[in-house]
Structures are given as C-alpha cells and as structure tokens.
Amino acid sequence: MHLRTLLAIARKDTLDMLFNKASLTVLLMPIFLAVLFVGIQALLGSTPTKVLIYNPGRSGIEQLVKQSFSNVQMIYVNTPQDVASAFGPNNARKDSLYALGLVIPADFEQRLVANQHPQLQVYINGNQVNRQQSALLQGAIADYTRQIANPQPPATIDVATINPPAANADTQNLAQAYSLTVLLCSFFVGMSLVPGMLIEEKEKKTLRMLMVTPASFADVVGGKLLVGLVYQLILSIVVMAIKGGFSGQIPIVLLFTVLGTLFSISVGLLAGSIFQTSSAVGAFSGLATFIYILPVFVVGVFSQLIGNNPFTNVIKVLPTYYLADGIANALAGQAGWGNTLLDGGIVLGCIVVIFLLAVTLLRRQASVAAII
C-alpha cells in the first residue's frame, strides 16, 4: 500500500462526494435530523429548572448543579428554613415551583477538609426531576465531596424527595433518547457512502483502469475507507455537538462513537464487495437502516415501556443493539466496566469478522481483475 497514492484517491473521492448532490444530501441528512430534534426538545423543555438554594459560602456545588441541568435558574434565600418550607419532608405530596432545593453550610468545603462530616441537604421534586437525573446528581455531589475530602470520608448527604414518581412511571429523559437516536442515525452515512464509492468504480469500469496505474487494489479500497472513516467520525461528532449529546460519561460515549463508525464502514465495505450495481446497494442500505433504528426502542428510557418481551430478545441478535446499549448507558451515566466491556467487545468482534469477510471477497475480486 502506497500512502501518497492512497491519499490521492481519498482526495478524489472527497471532492467527488462534495460535488455530488445525492452524496451531499446523505451527508447532511443527520445534521438536519439533529437540528430537528433540538427544535422539538426546545418546544417540549423550554421551562427553566428552578433551584432554590441557601449557599452563603458560595460552595462549588452550585456550579456542579448548573452543569448537571440545562437552563438552570438559581433563586437564593437567606435561611435554610426557607428551602425546607418550600419543599416539605421526604415523600410529601406538595405543589412546588422548584425542581431542586439545596442547603449548603457556609463553611462546607473547609469542614470537609477538616473531616467534620458536614451535612448537605438536597430536596428533589419528583414531578420535575426523574429518578435517573436524581441519581446522577447525587453521584456527582458525592464525587465532588470525595475529591475534596479524599482520603477522608465525605460529607453526609441528606436527600428528601417530594412528589416521588411511581415505580412504573418514571419521567422519560427525552434529551438522552434524542441524542441516542441522532447518533445511531448518523451511522447510516458510512454504511451508504463506502459501498457507493466502490460500486461507482465498478459501474464506470474504472476499477481495472486504476489497477494499471501505480495504485494497487489495496490503495483503492484503503482510500475509499479513509474517506468514509473521516466523514463518518466528523459527522457523528457534529450531530452530537448540535444535539448536546456529549453528556454523562463522555469518554465512553466517544468510545462507542468510534466503534459505531468502524462498524458502519465495515458493513459498507462488505456491501461494496458483494453488490455490483447502485440500485442493489441502495436497496441494501434502505433495509440495513432498520438495524440502527430498531435498537433505539429497546434500550434506555424506551426499554421501560415495553419491558422484556420476545421482540427485545430478537433485537439482541443485532450487533447494533449492543452499540445502542453502550451509548444509552454512557449518556445516562450508568456504564459500568462489566456492561461496557460486554457491549464494546461484541461490537468490536463483529467489526473484525465483517471486515475480514469483506477483505477476503475483495482479494478474490482483485485476483480476477488482475487476470483480466
């Protein structure tokens, strides 16, 4: 494989793709979808998150809360009793304008360092903050206190939840569902563009012409894979940035974004090695989009609606189920080592198998092209 030749082929395909209206439409479609979801989310969730706070010492927990929720409005009070009376005791049923209440002692950080176990009072309105968001906030506060008091024990965090949601009726986190959907839909691009570039050479009978140039078959395929890889990675990152999907456990979100990109172009490479016409690739791409869409309905917040049923078990056969599960867990901040290794390992194994199968088929085609 020659690097200069590979880059030249990649540059040619990049320019061809940008000036081709059909390819450009495929590239821009996930961006349009991300913008649409942002608009929908703005319409549904434009109400600010009101936080009633007693924080005379200007503790850094205030900034932590602002980072944990979007569109936060802080309302400051002069006494802890003002916060307590606005919410009431744990498990109370009470109408409240506030989503959160915080009572932070004036010398909170100093007492942490002195190992005095200061008490932090957190009030949560279950009508506005779901269980998942509540767990993430409590985990973030606990991590904050450990960073200051480490290796000493952290503070005592007293949590009172009013209007607790029913066990089977948690508020769905639509923002995370939208981010998952947008990211999975962006993977359509690599799966569609890579075989399209290969089929174009086959249909125009230019593949054998490239073979008599200094470019080898590996250079041709490598150049097209490079284009698909770069476009797919950039597009996935752009749509997640537009949607604000880089939240939760960001390194794991990025890990599964890379795995999704590699899986997408591997499937595209396999399709390009099997099919001979653009119409066949188009039909395949249309059907293959369902392997990305279907897992959205059985992971994350949607999984609570349908539970464990035969449909869910069927979807688990798809490699994209584990891709979607890994992304959903990371966005929700619930990705542990066990489920991350399981989901990532299955996706990576499928990538290797699909890629090796595609390479085997392409080598046979290279041998035939060389003889002809």
Find, among 108, 106, 124, the residue nearest to 116 by Cα.
108
Max avg pLDDT among 165-169, 319-323, 326-330: 319-323
For the chain, percent of residues with pLDDT exceeding 90: 24
Residue 147 lies in a domain: yes
Indicate whether 242 and 115 sit together in one domain. Answer: no
Mean pLDDT of 240-251: 74
The pLDDT assigned to 168 comes to 39
Indicate whether 337 and 191 sit together in one domain. Answer: yes
Contact, 186 vs 148, CB < 8 A? no
Residue 357 lies in a domain: yes
pLDDT beyond 80 at 252: yes
pLDDT beyond 70 at 43: no
- Residue 8 is classified by DSSP as H
The pLDDT assigned to 245 comes to 59
Indicate whether 279 and 329 sit together in one domain. Answer: yes
What's the mean pLDDT when you consider all of the chain? 81
Contact, 248 vs 37, CB < 8 A? no
Find, among 168, 180, 175, the residue nearest to 298 by Cα.
180
Of 84-98, 244-258, 329-343, the one with minimum mean pLDDT is 244-258
Give 59's Cβ-side CA count (13 Å radius): 26
Q: Between 14 and 59, where is the model more confident?
A: 59
pLDDT beyond 80 at 58: yes
Residue 191 lies in a domain: yes
The two three-digit tokens of residue 159, written as one number? 């949590």
Mean pLDDT of 245-250: 71
CA dihedral 331, 168, 313, 358 (to 10 degrees): -20
Pairing status of strand 119-125 against strand 100-103: antiparallel
Q: Is the dihedral of CA 339, 341, 342, 344 positive or negative?
A: positive
Q: Tell me the pLDDT tens digit for each residue of 96-146.
A: 889 999 999 999 999 888 888 899 999 999 888 877 678 878 888 888 888
Residue 265 lies in a domain: yes
Give 357's Cβ-side CA count (13 Å radius): 14
The pLDDT assigned to 170 comes to 42
Indicate whether 121 and 198 sit together in one domain. Answer: no
Q: Between 285 and 320, where is the model more confident?
A: 320
Residue 227 lies in a domain: yes
Residue 167 lies in a domain: no
- Residue 128 is classified by DSSP as T
Q: Tell me the pLDDT tens digit for each residue of 83-100.
A: 999 998 888 888 888 999
**What distance in Å separates the CA atoms of residue 193 and residue 182, rounded to the nearest whole number?**
18
Indicate whether 72 and 203 sit together in one domain. Answer: no
The pLDDT assigned to 204 comes to 65
**Residue 52, domain CATH:** 3.40.1710
Contact, 283 vs 216, CB < 8 A? no
pLDDT beyond 70 at 366: no
Domain span at residue 57 reads: 47-162
Residue 309 lies in a domain: yes
Mean pLDDT of 243-261: 83
In Å, how far are 50, 72, 221 from 45, measured between CA atoms?
13, 12, 46
E strand or H helix at 75: strand 72-76
The pLDDT assigned to 113 comes to 87
The pLDDT assigned to 217 comes to 65
Domain end, chosen from 162, 192, 219, is at 162
Domain end, chosen from 102, 128, 162, is at 162
Domain end, chosen from 140, 162, 184, is at 162
Indicate whether 176 and 153 sit together in one domain. Answer: no
**What distance in Å separates the CA atoms of residue 367 and residue 356, rounded to the nearest whole number?**
17
DSSP-H helix ranges across 123-277: 131-149, 174-186, 188-203, 207-211, 217-243, 250-274
Indicate whether 253 and 108 sit together in one domain. Answer: no
Indicate whether 348 and 209 sit together in one domain. Answer: yes
Residue 131 lies in a domain: yes
Indicate whether 32 and 67 sit together in one domain. Answer: no
Indicate whether 154 and 192 sit together in one domain. Answer: no
Q: Tell me the pLDDT tens digit for each residue of 268-317.
A: 999 988 888 888 888 888 888 889 988 988 887 666 555 566 777 888 89
Indicate whether 147 and 201 sit together in one domain. Answer: no
How far does CA 114 lie from the centroid of its chain? 40
Indicate whether 205 and 305 sit together in one domain. Answer: yes
Total domains present in the chain? 2
Kindly indicate the confidence band of residue 62, based on its pLDDT and cuts at 50, 70 and 90: very high
